[in-house]
Structure 1
Amino acid sequence: MSARARLCATVPALMSSSEAGPPEIVGPPGSRMLVQRSDTEIVAQPLDDAFTARPDSSVRFPAPWPRDRGTWEVSPDAGVAVFAGVHAVRAVEPSGAVRWEVRHGCWYGACRETHESYDEYADRQDHRYPDGGSVGFSADGRFVWAHVRGPLPDSELSPDTVDEWLLLDAASGRVLARVDAEAAAAGSFHLPHPTDPHQMGLSIGEGQDGAPLRWGRWDGRELDVNHLGGDLCLLSVSPSGERLMTVSHDQDSLAVRDSRGAVLEGWEWDAEASIPRHPDAPSEDDGEAYGCWDWAGGFVDETTLVVSTAECDEEWGPLRHWLIDTRDARRLMPVLYPSPVPSQPSALGGGAWSTSSESRDALHVWERDTRKD
């Protein structure tokens, strides 16, 4: 059985692909934004429920360093942007004013300096390709969760701590809680609980060494962190916040778990057993296993996943996307688009997902066309 996709909207990019990274639609239904980052600024454009730009509502945030020197996040109300850089986490207002800054250890592994500014290492060849952390806003925008390189100047953690996970007050930058992330990251990203600002997921990449996954809960005094077992990439959190979608570091296993990391019964899909071979791929007689899950996709709604196998498909022909209805774990349905799509999918919730245009100058928003099933 297949699932036909219906085009709901085409959302133009805010900047050209020659000067900026790809556009993204972020936020839950009712609070969505289109965001895009260049070397010099972030542009955020609130969207209505039809994915149309709200008139005269775009916001620009001057960037403190180039986009290849860190990650970033815009608050849910588009009032502040937070940049996670090589030496600091900095909150910037649309005026360019620095709301606050938290300096930390340098993400270039061999450097033991505590830099005071980007200018100190901007032209240093050995700092051109540093590792990095990330930041994430809580669902209500009150907190910023930050994954940083230790040690911080005033940290009470062991001086041997490599990575710290901080909970910050978004208004002041005050550190409310901190823990040892117990990782040595090459990079990371955050995924918040959709309704509870006291919970956050942190997916860490250690290159070939592994992919630690952490789930944090703050009770107002202490930050409790659950280390989800195995090397896992966190792809999505369901609208209720009760379910996590993960892909194993080797891309062999796709699963839906509870927030403690346990796989829900029947909600795990092995790539070799579940993914049909691409029509143009070599026959099974070659003796080699075929198929892997992409590190992409997510919850379209509480019980439906959109996933893709683009990485293993691209050698043979059109990229394939799939919908999985977890109410019937056997239903891996190929998505049929009006024309081939050139990118992996991004889940938007509310029954929708997006793909990039060929030229990266727009995002296409899709939903399942149940009238043709």
Structure 2
Amino acid sequence: MSVHARLRATVPALMPSSQAGPPEITGLPGRRMLVQRSDDEIVTQALDDAFVARAEASVRFPAPWPRSRGTWEVAPDASLAVFAGVHAVRAVEPSGATRWEVRHGCWYGACREMHESYDEYADRQDHRYPESGSVGFSADGRLVWAHVRGPLPEGELSPDTADEWLVIDAENGRVLARADAEAAAAGSVHLPHPTDPRQMGLSIGEGQDGAPLRWGRWDGKELAVDCLDGDLCLLGLSPSGDRLMTVSHDQDSLAVRDSRGDVVEALDWNAEAALPRHPEAPSSTDADADEDEDEDVVELDVCWDWAGGFLDETTLVASTAESDEEWGEGRHWLVDTTATHGFTPIDYGSPASGEPTALGGGAWSTLSQTRDVLHVWGLHGLEG
């Protein structure tokens, strides 16, 4: 038995895929934007509740460095874009003016220089593939949370601090608080609490070394950081912000947790135990026979993708496309955390490309194979 997805909207990219990264839909219901980044700029377009472009003109933010040299985020009201680069976090207005900049240590691991500009290392071969941090706006857009490589120009937290987590005033760039992230990142992603601007999730990737997950609370004076147990990738927050969706670093376990990292009501599922094997995969008997005849091991494991999120407070969308591609069409799953229906495969009518991205309000999106169109999906009874 499967559930049938209903196509709610087809959203074309703002720039050709040959010139830019894939388009993204950001923001909460009622404040959604289509956003896309090229080497030269970020372009945003406001969307209405039907995912149709609003009448107002698009907003463009000139980029201070190529998109391969860091990450970025746009304020909820599209008044500011913040770029997390190799040597600095820079806030840029639509005019191209720099509102503020916070310099920090270099994200290229062997470099100990405090660069003053991108031009200092733009053509250096050893800085072509740096590690990176990230930035995230609070729900109200007044704060920027930034994960950076230390130290800041005004000094280190301690000699052993590698990565720092900052809370910054979005208006003037003043660093309001800083804490040791207790990580050595290859990359990271911020996920803001949907209603409380003083809470933020930080999902850190350390490559093969692990995936530390941090939860930050700023009380107006100090930043308190909870280090959640285990190597976990944070994929989404429920509309209330009370629940987190995580997938383990080894991709075996999907769970719903609270902000302390505790599993909620035993909502923790091992992929192989919870899901059926791909219908086109060989049986265990066939796999054992193949292993006897061939030294190559036949991998039949089902594993979760690092993708998905909350459609509403109790419903998730998840996928196993990465492990499914060995055998055929990738599968997406509707997850009912009330245990009424459990895991149900999603039927799109034709093969879906890639992984799902939860948008809230009962909607999720998939990217076309040509990477120039976003398809927005929903289910009857979940749309809001």
Query: Which bracket does the TM-score occupy, shorter chain normalised?
Result: over 0.9
Aligned residues: 371
Cα deviation, 1:179-238, whole Å, max 9, x if unaligned, reads: 000000000010000000000000000000000000000111111111110000000000
Please report how far the alpha carbon of residue 316 of structure 1 lies from its aligned counterpart in structure 2 after TM superposition.
1.1
Structure 1 residue 289: Cα displacement: 4.9
Q: Distance in 1 between matches of 2:331 and 2:118?
A: 42
Report if the CA contact (8 A) 1:151-1:159 is conserved.
Answer: no
Task: Name the structure 2 match of 1:210.
Answer: 210
AA aligned opposite 1:164: E
User: 1:4, 1:369 within 8 Å by CA — same for their partners in 2?
Assistant: no
Instruction: Give, as a single letter, the amino acid of the residue that structure 1 aligns with 2:111.
Output: C
Shift of 1:251: 0.1
Question: CA separation of 1:129/1:329 partners in 2, compared to 1, >3 Å: closer, same or farther?
Answer: farther
Amino acid at match of 1:55: A
Q: Residue deviations 1:147-200, cap 9 Å, x none?
A: 000011113511331000000000011000000000000000100000000000
Q: Show the counterpart of 2:261.
A: 261
Is the contact made by 1:3 and 1:369 (CA closer than 8 Å) also made in structure 2? no
1: distance between equivalents of 2:196 and 2:168?
A: 16
Q: Deviations over 1:295-345 (max 9, x none)?
A: 000001111000000100111111110000111176100000021111100
Is contact 1:267–1:329 with CA below 8 Å preserved after alignment? no
Q: Counterparts of 1:167-178 in structure 2 under 5 Å?
A: 167-178=167-178
More deviation, 257-266/86-95? 257-266
Q: Which residue of structure 2 aligns with residue 328 of structure 1?
A: 339
Letter in 2 for 1:309: T
Gaps of 5+ in 2: 289-298
The answer to whether the 8 A contact 1:81-1:92 is kept is yes
Question: Aligned pair in 2 of structure 1 residues 20, 96: CA closer, same or farther (>3 Å)?
Answer: same
1:294 aligns with 2:305: yes
1:27-176 alignment runs, 5 A limit: 27-155=27-155, 157-176=157-176
SS at 2:323 equivalent: helix
The corresponding residue for 1:361 is 372
AA partner of residue 253 (structure 2): S
Give the letter for the 2:62 counterpart: P
Shift of 1:281: 1.0
Contact 2:271 2:303 in 1 (8 A): yes
Distance in 2 separating the partners of 1:336 and 1:227: 38
- Do 2:334 and 2:343's aligned partners in 1 also have CA atoms closer than 8 Å? yes
| RMSD of aligned alpha carbons | 1.2
Confirm whether residue 14 of structure 1 aligns to residue 21 of structure 2.
no
* Gap change, CA 1:329 and 1:235, over 3 Å in 2: farther
Q: Which amino acid aligns with 2:112?
A: R
- 1:306 paired residue number: 317
Q: Could you tell which deviates more after superposition, 232-241 or 261-270?
A: 261-270
Q: Structure 1 211/243 Cα, relative in aligned 2: closer, same or farther at 3 Å?
A: same
**Matched AA of 2:58:** S
- Distance in 2 (CA, whole Å) between partners of 1:234 and 1:304 is 16
1:272–1:289: 8 Å Cα contact kept in structure 2?
Answer: no
Distance 1:127 1:100 in 2: 24
Structure 1: runs of 5 or more not aligned: none
Deviations 1:81-108 (A, max 9, x none): 0000000000000000000000000000
Q: Match of 1:5?
A: 5
Find the aligned partners of 2:13 and 2:103 in 1 and give their Cα distance.
33
- Residue 4 of structure 1 contacts residue 370 of structure 1 at CA under 8 Å; is this kept in 2? no
Q: Percent identity?
A: 76
